[in-house]
Amino acid sequence: MTPSAAPARDGYSRRGLAHMAITALAAPFLAGLTNREAGVPLGVDTASFRDLRKPGGDAVNAVIEALVSAGARECELHSDLVEPLYGMPDMQRHMRTAMGKQMARRDLRNWRTRTPLSHFESLRQRFAQAGIAVTAYNYSIDRSFSDEEIDRGFKMAKALGARMMTASMPLDVARRVAPAADRQQMIVAITSRCRPAETTEIATPADIDSALKLSRYFRIGADIGRLTSDNLDAVDFIGRRHAEIASVHLKDCRRDAGGTVPWGQGDTPIREALQLLKREGWAIPAFVDYEYEATGGAVQEIQRCLAFAKRALESR
């Protein structure tokens, strides 16, 4: 039995006790956020601004402007919007598909391992000056990552001021990440995804259970849209497993492997999930995750989603 699975004498698991301790420590910080609606920390997943990523540099300034315009004051910051976009647009086609990709991967690894942590501290200041807290740093790890890159992700997250790292990853990679999480003593919210047949990415509840056993710092990043798409009851899932959940992603999906749709047009119980968090007083950050197609653009749609979420929390 792992340390996180051993029961405590009062009936709580050690994982549950650790979660409560972390929540208690985070409460003063969370209380200062302008988007802490009805006791629920409400923010934006910056993957919603994926189109802002351009070759030749990072998208930090554009992301900050978009968050401010959308009225967000808390975010889950995705690493690919912080990192340079490496590529070989001028190389011959066969070089782009083979050697070019290999060179780009090498350049990205070098950037991750050699960029001073002071760079990420300065990014934290830029977000803070705009009134935005970086609550989580998304650093999804695949098999190409070196151990140094994995360890570096935690250090980047801490320099950015994040309370947790979020990631999707295969189970065998999670086994490599677990020792780093233990060393760095930082929460990793594992985001489950719909798993294509050709990959081994953590996706099912059974996968999640296997991953959580690897480190007492591993938690669940609960995507209520994805749970709905997989025909699971998102509200029941949060209710049963809240002590293991570090973050919630908000999107609207249809059942039976349906895709994302504008909020209110799908089957995801967004209101009910937010009401549950509010009613029980669980200070679990909830991030708007914009994926559906719309003509208004990301900023306008996120404004609508945030307004939807606030109305849901205000209602009884």
Q: How many domains does the chain have?
A: 1
Q: What is the pLDDT of residues 221-238, one digit of tens each?
A: 999 999 999 999 999 999
pLDDT tens by residue, 35-57? 567 789 999 999 999 888 877 67
The answer to whether residue 93 is domain-embedded is no
159's CB contacts (< 8 A; 6+ apart) are: 117, 118, 120, 121, 124
pLDDT at 93: 53
Measure the CA–CA gap between 235 and 215, rounded to whole angstroms: 25
Residue 58: its pLDDT value, please?
86
Q: At what angle do helices 205-212 and 171-184 cross, to 10 degrees?
A: 40
Nearest to 250 by CA among 231, 227, 282, 281: 227
**pTM recorded for the entire structure:** 0.84
- The domain of 123 spans 3-87+116-314
Q: Which segment of 13-22, 77-86, 108-117, 295-304 scores lowest on mean pLDDT? A: 13-22
Instruction: Please list the alpha-helical segments (H only) found in the chain.
Output: 14-31, 60-70, 93-97, 99-114, 117-129, 147-159, 171-184, 205-212, 224-229, 234-241, 270-280, 298-314
Residue 104 lies in a domain: no
> Residue 233 has what pLDDT?
96
Residue 80 lies in a domain: yes
Looking at 106-110, 152-156, 189-193, which range is the least confident one?
Answer: 189-193
Q: Do the domain assignments include residue 262?
A: yes
| Other C-beta atoms lying within 10 Å of the C-beta of residue 111 | 13
Task: For residue 288, list its beta bridge partners.
Answer: 44, 250
Residue 142 lies in a domain: yes
- Residue 82: pLDDT band (50, 70, 90) is very high
Q: Which residues contact 48 (CB under 8 A, 6 or more apart)?
A: 288, 289, 290, 291, 298, 301, 302
Residue 95 lies in a domain: no
What local confidence, expressed as pLDDT, does residue 95 receive? 47
pLDDT (tens digit per residue) in 238-283: 999 999 999 999 999 999 988 999 999 999 999 999 999 999 999 9
The interaxial angle of helices 99-114 and 147-159, nearest 10 deg, is: 50
- Mean pLDDT lowest among 18-32, 85-99, 177-191: 18-32
Measured N-to-C along each axis, helices 147-159 and 171-184 cross at an angle, to the nearest 10 degrees, of 50
Label residue 89 by pLDDT band (50, 70, 90). low
Mean model confidence pLDDT for the chain? 85
- At 93-116, the pLDDT tens digits run 544 567 778 899 999 999 999 999
Distance of alpha carbon 196 from alpha carbon 191, whole angstroms: 15
Contact 110, 152 (CB under 8 A): no
Q: Indicate which CATH number applies to the domain containing 162.
A: 3.20.20.150
Residue 65: what residue type?
E
Distance CA 107, CA 87 (A): 9
pLDDT of 35 reads 55
Identify the pLDDT of residue 47.
Answer: 95
CA 278 from chain centre, in angstroms, equals 20
Share of the chain above pLDDT 70, in %: 81
The pLDDT value recorded for residue 202 is 85
Contact 232, 257 (CB under 8 A): no
3-state helix, strand, coil in the chain (%, to 5): 50, 15, 35
In a domain, 310, yes or no: yes
